[in-house]
Amino acid sequence: MSAIGKSVARAEGEERVTGKGTFVADIKLPSMLYASVIRSPIAHGDIIEVDDSRASKIKGYKGIFTYRDILGENVIPVVFRDQPCFAEKRVNYYGEPIGVVVADSKSAADMALSRVNIDYRELEPLLDPLKARGNERIKIYGEDNIFKHLKVRNGDIEKAFAECEVVIEDIYTTPYQEHAYIETQGMVANPLPDGTMEIYGSMQCPFYVREAVAAVLDLPFSKVRVVQTSTGGAFGGKEDVPSLVACQAAIPAYHLKRPVKLIYSRDEDIISMSKRHPGWIRYKSGADSNGVLKAVEVEYIIDGGAYSTLSPVVLWRGTVHAVGPYRCENVKVDTYAVATNKVPCGAFRGFGSPQVLFAAESQMDRLAEKLNIDPAEFRLKNILRTNDTTPFGQKLSWSVGAEEALMRVLEKSDWKKRKDKNEYAPDGKKIGYGLSSVFYGVGLGAGGKHLARTGARVMVEGDGSVSFSVGTTEMGQGMRTVLAQIVAEELGLPYENIRMIPTDTSRVPDSGPTVASRATTMSGRALIDACGKPRNSILTEAARMLGVEKHQVILKDGMAFSRVDKDKQISVMEVINSCFAKRMPLSGEGWYVSPETSWDERRGFGDAYVTYAWSSNVAVIAVDMDTGEIEVLKIYSSHDVGKAINPSLVEGQIEGGVIQGLGYALTENIITDKKGRLMNTEFATYIIPTAADVPSVKPIIVEHPYPEGPYGARGFGEQPLMGVAPAVANAVRDAVGVRISNLPITPEKVWKALRKYED
């Protein structure tokens, strides 16, 4: 292959490095106005009155817009339809939007915002999901404040535990995690003379935005056009919530008949936008004397915040992944997404699985320790292999690279030599090695199969350049590059000839969201389909020009070769010129629907995902015995990706995911006060890893081709984060003998555990 498997330069690399990319903040339209959002100053209460009389005196003030100005339905459609665009009579979290003020300038809008008075009656908030679940007094959602309850049932759990040699049970907790994307949320709404509403913004799911804007403005989808601008990071944080931001700009734009720009400040973004769900996990697991995992029982609760948003599907993924990448015939899993009076949580890289996998992988080490078995050996005894059946009843007939990923990471990290780990340790420090193995269901799976479709369009120009359109988005993961490589390979043209057109809902049919590591597999297959017509024309004409049959032509590196006579060749450019002269079709549309999946929700059983990515990680750390500080020295991270279309981008995903996972493991923690206010809303107090904190990261690529994937590839971009926190926790235990069961693993927690200090 000429383009596949090559580390070509990133398609958008130059524009990002030089700053040439057009971000939403760069957009300037004639007569543009600026909006600022009116937010609730309390976590729970009734709105008595919103008064803008003082704000109206600001020069350039254009008005206030609330739920009364919504022409259609006051709803942000996601999974359930419970979240309003603007609160009407009651607010359910601190920072909930009540309306927007609009002015000629951003400074005037902000000044007007400061002069809006909200009269309210404060109510008692529910902030603890354990207390919210089934609360008799305060009802946020339904009768029990439970958005969703899911389960898995397999085997005889009581009998299995009774027969185990060792049983471990503990409670694990995980915190919020902020996406910390470099670009905050932002949208521009531009009303056109024909009644169409154009939306430009930073997002990862343009079709979600289109549906939401159409709902609040009571417009048909064909009257809403959404264009993705250059997007400075997302990680899931720009999946559902940009719909809310877009509506906040679109409503005043519609009424004022002028473009409206809305860009969030950093603290506003952190206060009001989605986070990774905090998790509470009670985990019980047992093994026999030979180290075979016999029984797992899990109760997993996620704090969904005030509205359901994506919590039901986040919970579903966590449910499926609760046991980890292991065989186990006796399983009982109960999971709950619970409503609280806090900011709604949503998608974040890993999507509900990092929380429960932290518990699962901690348990695996604890079982191995109790049985006096090496943690790697214990995993190898139980890890899923080809033709095994998962704990939720899915037979894995192909493309299972879990064992190889584990063996490769053990080899690269010199796992067997770790017993000498403290021989060269710095004074006052102990060295520890920690292992984790995880898996990730690629795509939307049975929980979102109604969205599992993707469209694409390809156009070959007369000069041999090619443009293509897809419905998935580039947000830093390298999709533009990988998809361009696929098109180049299909058409036999140089990679440099291929260009992706910015994602635009008017160019391709609804292609679902850019989530769940699905862009490469779904858009890649749709593009292969779209290339079919121009490729057929090129092959047909090349065969005529070479004097061979069509099936005897090879397209590669800009040339058309004869399979029969290697000396017969002609440039693809000459073939394209001839095709144009004969008016042969050189454009095409493609469509791809993922293979069928199934799920029996009553039992928690079925073919949950079409394929899985597999990973193992080894963390090498040093712990300061005097202070509890943890220095991460090396991370070895091995991933089965099916086929690495661009190896350097695969390595980049691993490196970036590892660093984000280290933040989750060690430093990131949002503090909420007793009134539901988020207290650390700046990067001075919400601590993310910097360049100075980055250890040596060793990416390891494993390739077990996925038959349905483009050239065998499958997505894996979310997985690199998921196994880091448990590997670090297991390394801390290995180094100093203490087990930290609640993230993040701060120096204070380690110091207290070393001294058995309790508050």
> 576 and 605 in one domain?
no
Q: Average pLDDT, stretch 393-411?
A: 97
- Residue 149 is assigned to a structural domain of this protein: no
Q: 392 with 465, same domain?
A: no
Contact indicator for 435, 616 with CB cutoff of 8 Å: yes
Please, which pLDDT band fits residue 759 given cuts at 50, 70 and 90? low
- Say yes or no to pLDDT of 72 above 80: yes
3-state secondary structure of 354: helix
Q: What is the pLDDT of residue 250?
A: 98
In angstroms, the Cα distances linking 59 to 36, 52, 499, 528 are 15, 14, 46, 56
In a domain, 148, yes or no: no
Q: What is the reported pLDDT for 427?
A: 78
Q: Are 218 and 109 contained in the same domain?
A: yes
Task: Examine the fold and report which residue of 593, 628, 663 is the final residue of a domain before the chain moves on.
Answer: 593
**Any idea how long the chain is?**
759
Same domain, 437 and 419: yes
Q: Does some domain include residue 236?
A: yes
Residues 245 and 348 in one domain: no
Q: Are residues 636 and 726 in the same domain?
A: yes
Q: How confident is the model at residue 451 (pLDDT cuts 50, 70, 90)?
A: confident
In this predicted structure, which of 6-20, 238-252, 306-320, 349-363 has the lowest mean pLDDT?
A: 6-20
Report how many domains make up the chain: 3
pLDDT at 305: 98
pLDDT in tens, 468-521: 999 999 999 999 999 999 999 999 999 999 999 999 999 999 999 989 889 999
Q: Which residues contact 497 (CB under 8 A, 6 or more apart)?
A: 464, 465, 466, 488
Domain of 553, CATH number, reads: 3.30.365.10
Boundary-marking domain end, from 263, 291, 324: 263
| pLDDT given for residue 16 in this prediction | 85
Are 562 and 619 within one domain?
Answer: no
593, 608, 626: which is the final residue of a domain? 593
Whether the per-residue pLDDT at 423 is higher than 70: the answer is no
Number of other CB atoms surrounding residue 636 within 10 Å: 26
Residues 350 and 373 in one domain: yes
pLDDT at 372 over 80: yes
**Domain assignment present for 180:** no
Inter-residue contact 632 to 623 (CB < 8 Å): no
CA distances from 370 to 275, 290, 365, 367, 720 (A): 36, 12, 9, 5, 28
Q: What kind and span of H or E run contains 714?
A: none
In a domain, 491, yes or no: yes
| Angle (nearest 5°) at CA 63 between 62 and 64 | 150
Q: Kindly state whether residues 240 and 294 are assigned to the same domain.
A: no
Measured CA to CA, the distance from residue 576 to residue 541 in angstroms comes to 8
Mean of per-residue pLDDT scores for the chain: 96
Do residues 585 and 698 share a domain? Answer: no
- Whether 271 is in a domain gets the answer no
Same domain, 574 and 626: no
- Please state, for a pLDDT cut of 70, what percent of the chain lies above it: 99
Residue 404: CB atoms within 10 Å: 18
- Number of Cβ within 10 Å of residue 473's Cβ equals 25
Q: What φ, ψ does residue 61 adopt, rounded to 5°?
A: -70, 135
Q: Could you tell me the two tokens for 611? A: 């394929």
Residues 6+ apart with CB under 8 A from 69: 251, 252, 255
Mean pLDDT of 91-113: 98
Look up the domain containing 479 and give its range: 453-593
**At 542, phi and psi to the nearest 5?**
-65, -40
CA proximity to 6, closest of 709, 643, 704: 643
The CATH number of the domain holding residue 225 is 3.90.1170.50
In a domain, 114, yes or no: yes
pTM, rounded to two decimals = 0.96
So what's the pLDDT on residue 425? 72
Indicate if 285 and 394 belong to the same structural domain. yes
Nearest Cα to 474, choosing from 531, 523, 510?
523
Flag whether 235 is in a domain. yes
Alpha carbon distance 159, 162 (integer Å): 5
**98 in Cβ contact with 50 (< 8 Å):** yes
User: Token match 């969205």: residue?
Assistant: 451
Section 585-608 average pLDDT? 95
